[in-house]
């Protein structure tokens, strides 16, 4: 059995999002559990069905290509592109899921899930605005948050906000006896289902921009500096509508002592040096792929402690660091497996006799 985990962690503020695939198609928000909000699990019906005996599925997206195009279009300017975690979440299925949670919990379940996925984006936007030396950042952040929730583009003298579409394709396949039967009947064993997810692009036009080399040189000094909670409170001083105020107040009231311990442990695990970043940084994009680094091996070893079986393994599928937001994006597959030969079974039986 494979357990998939996604982690978004902002090294500067300590904010994080952790989704754990506890069962096929059933994801749990770890941060929500630690904060005491008792979030309802997020259920992906397509993944649940694809894990029935004899069925399989795979998901591919155009996220990397769309993001790269946005960075290239900026011609070296400062650009914020929505995270992979947010884009994976922002689908038509999510809207239906949120509607169901709102009905079951009187709105609290939906609010908790929206906060879990939108607030990490806002946290990274806060760092991005700060690194761009944005004037009146709280007011800009309110406009951006309203635009994310409403899906409306806008332009100001200092930045532009644009909603973009990202194509996803889920391929369902049939294996085993049923797959063999379909093959004998000359029927397709696979079917592809296309869907569109939403992301967004922020482009800084206010002059200046982010000095990525300065970010690299000061990465250790700026780790776990916090600042996001006071920024949320400053956003509440801006004239916001009641729904937005409810979301911001929910965010300000979150957190716990255990949550702080988790932040520190994640920060220690993901600690990086300026030298490490300088060695692999490629000018032209703020995104650094760290899959082939010592950090990836350190992460794999740590995650291996969560796996079960004598043939367990961990694959670090994604390990990226965004210089403009000081944030990590991580995807890990934890494979739990017991592997025994007939001789192993015979040996075990003889030990019992």
Give residue for tokens 């030969």: 341
Kindly report each contact of residues 185-194 with a partner whose C-beta sits within 8 Å and lies 24 or more positions away, as own/partner: 193/46, 193/169, 194/167, 194/168, 194/169
CA dihedral 25→29→33→36, nearest 10 degrees, is: -120
Between CA 242 and CA 247 the distance in angstroms is: 9
What pTM value is reported for the model? Answer: 0.80
Would you state the pLDDT for residue 86? 93
Please name which of 201, 111, 108, 206 lies closest in space to residue 161, comparing C-alpha atoms. Answer: 201
Give, for all 353 residues of the chain, the pLDDT tens digit.
Answer: 677 788 899 999 988 888 776 555 555 555 554 444 444 455 555 555 555 555 667 789 999 999 999 998 876 679 999 999 999 989 887 876 676 555 545 566 678 788 888 989 999 999 999 999 888 899 999 999 999 988 999 999 999 999 999 999 988 776 655 555 555 555 556 778 899 999 999 999 887 788 899 999 999 898 888 888 889 999 999 988 888 888 888 887 765 555 677 788 888 899 999 999 999 998 878 999 999 899 999 999 988 877 777 778 889 999 999 999 999 999 988 887 666 555 554 554 555 54
Kindly report each contact of residues 91-98 with a partner whose C-beta sits within 8 Å and lies 24 or more positions away, as own/partner: 91/168, 91/195, 91/196, 91/197, 91/198, 92/195, 92/196, 93/44, 93/45, 93/46, 93/195, 97/42, 97/43
Within 10 Å of residue 245's Cβ, how many Cβ atoms? 14
The CA distances from residue 73 to 14, 260, 287, in Å, are 30, 38, 15
- b or e along 274-290 (b: 16 or more beta carbons within 10 Å of the residue's beta carbon)? eebbeeebeeebbbbeb
Q: Where are the domains of the chain?
A: 2-352
Within 10 Å of residue 352's Cβ, how many Cβ atoms? 5
- Is-contact 303 314, C-beta < 8 A? yes
Count of H-run helices and E-run strands, the chain: 15, 12
- Is-contact 77 202, C-beta < 8 A? no
User: On the CB side of 35, how many CA atoms lie within 13 Å of its CA?
Assistant: 21
Give residue for tokens 């169901």: 100
Checking DSSP bridges between strand 55-61 and strand 159-174, what pairing results, if any?
antiparallel
Between CA 104 and CA 98 the distance in angstroms is: 10
Q: Which residues contact 336 (CB under 8 A, 6 or more apart)?
A: 1, 2, 3, 307, 308, 309, 312
Phi first, then psi: give them for residue 225, nearest 5 degrees: -85, -10
Please name which of 292, 298, 304 lies closest in space to residue 333, comparing C-alpha atoms. Answer: 304
Q: Which two tokens stand for residue 150?
A: 């409403």
């Amino acid at each position: 059995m494979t357990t998939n985990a996604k982690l978004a962690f902002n090294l500067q503020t300590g904010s994080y999002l952790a989704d754990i695939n506890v069962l096929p198609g059933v994801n749990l928000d770890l941060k929500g559990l630690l904060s005491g909000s008792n979030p309802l699990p997020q259920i992906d019906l397509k993944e649940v069905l694809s894990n029935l005996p004899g069925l399989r599925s795979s998901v591919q997206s155009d996220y990397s290509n769309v993001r790269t195009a946005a960075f290239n279009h900026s011609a070296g300017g400062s650009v914020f592109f929505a995270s992979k975690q947010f884009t994976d979440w922002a689908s038509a299925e999510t809207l239906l899921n949120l509607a169901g949670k709102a009905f079951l919990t009187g709105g609290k379940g939906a609010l908790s899930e929206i906060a879990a996925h939108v607030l990490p984006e806002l946290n990274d936007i806060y760092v991005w605005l700060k690194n761009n030396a944005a004037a009146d950042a709280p007011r800009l952040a309110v406009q951006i948050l309203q635009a994310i929730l409403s899906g409306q583009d806008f332009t100001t003298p200092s930045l532009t906000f644009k909603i973009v579409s990202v194509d996803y394709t889920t391929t369902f396949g049939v294996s085993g006896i049923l797959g063999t039967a379909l093959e004998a009947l000359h029927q397709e064993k696979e079917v592809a289902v296309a869907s569109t997810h939403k992301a967004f692009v922020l482009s800084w036009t206010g002059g200046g921009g982010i000095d990525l080399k300065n970010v690299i040189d000061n990465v250790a000094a700026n780790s776990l500096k916090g600042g996001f909670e006071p920024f949320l409170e400053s956003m509440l001083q801006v004239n916001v509508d009641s729904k937005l105020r409810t979301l911001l107040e929910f965010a300000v009231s979150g957190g716990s002592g255990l949550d702080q311990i988790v932040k520190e442990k994640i920060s220690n695990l993901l600690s990086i040096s300026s030298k490490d970043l300088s060695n692999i940084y490629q000018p032209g994009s703020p995104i650094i792929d760290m899959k082939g680094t010592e950090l990836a091996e350190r992460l794999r070893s740590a995650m291996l402690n969560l796996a079960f079986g004598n043939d367990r393994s961990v694959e670090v599928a994604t390990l990226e660091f965004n210089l403009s937001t000081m944030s990590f994006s991580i995807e890990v597959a934890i494979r739990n497996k017991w592997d025994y030969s007939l001789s192993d079974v015979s040996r075990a039986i003889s030990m019992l006799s």
